[in-house]
Amino acid sequence: MSIETDSLKERFRKSKKVRRAWSTYKWFDRIRNWQDWYNWIASLLQTPAGAAAALGTTAVVTTSAVMVHNAVLDPYAEPYVQTEIAPLADPMRQTRGTLIFAIEGQDKAGRRGTFDVVVARKQFLWVRGSAEDLEKDGRRITGDELAIDVLDQEVRDGLASAREIIAVGTASEEGNAAAEKARAGRRAARTAEIVGKAVDEATPISALNLGQYRGSRAAGASGATDWQRPFMVIAVKELEEGTVLPEALADAMTGKEQLPSPASYSAFELNKIR
């Protein structure tokens, strides 16, 4: 009996060591991936100064704040300003070219809808002043190149199960409000064209024009505005019967620090493409 007890204790100790080693690995793996996706998330915050500071080259996450050192994340950022914000949620999934977030909202009658928001990483953006061209790390690319890098097979598999695809268009704060709203609409249509080639022809597609960015810019924020015009696609996953889609989607996008807020843009116009 004593031998069996000692054997059980030994196996238990080994099991604890394995679990502890795995937990340590996962933690360091999260740290290793942090800067890659945080760079993009920080660029989409409604208030860019919300990209807060941390000492050194890693982000320190607590239950009350997220801090990141500006000089590490963005060499063009304004001088170091320490700010505290609520903890950022992890993206549901990450692919080579995207971050994917699962969000849920309800219409005014309380009927719910769930959505997957697919956002290209920070290096993929609309060229300023263009509704046709996108860029990767500052280099203009074609829609086919974007589809290869962003709409890879993993993303396409996720979009394939969507009830509907929503192509999103935005414009940054520069320029005339009416002209930029129109440009955002053309970007949504161009996104629909690109995505339409990557999904089944029977999948319904709509265009969401969010218009021009009009949110506040806190003191000390970087002067860059490229984060205001991301390449973004939304997959409608589930809708309760009778749900008013625009209302449920607007509610789902509201208050998400990782995503553009409808209140920070000049429009919310959803139109069927096919």
CATH assignment of the domain containing 105: 3.30.1330
214 vs 206: CA distance, rounded Å: 23
Q: What is the pLDDT along the chain (274 residues), one digit of tens a residue?
A: 555 545 545 554 555 554 555 555 444 444 444 444 444 444 444 444 444 433 343 333 333 333 323 323 333 233 323 333 333 445 678 898 999 999 999 999 999 999 999 999 989 989 989 998 899 998 999 888 888 889 999 999 999 999 999 999 999 999 999 999 999 999 999 999 999 999 999 999 999 999 999 987 643 355 688 889 999 999 999 999 999 999 999 999 998 877 889 999 999 999 999 9
* Residue 31 domain-assigned (yes or no): yes
Report how many domains make up the chain: 2
Question: Within this chain, do residues 40 and 98 fall inside the same structural domain, yes or no?
Answer: no
Question: Within this chain, do residues 113 and 249 fall inside the same structural domain, yes or no?
Answer: yes
Boundary (domain end) residue, out of 40, 73, 106: 73
* Residue 178 domain-assigned (yes or no): yes
Domain that holds residue 6: 2-73
Question: Within this chain, do residues 214 and 253 fall inside the same structural domain, yes or no?
Answer: yes
Question: Within this chain, do residues 60 and 160 fall inside the same structural domain, yes or no?
Answer: no
Residue 190 token pair: 């161009």
Q: Which residues of 41-66 are buried (b: 16+ CB within 10 A; e: fewer)?
A: bbbbbbebbbbbbbeeeebebeeeeb
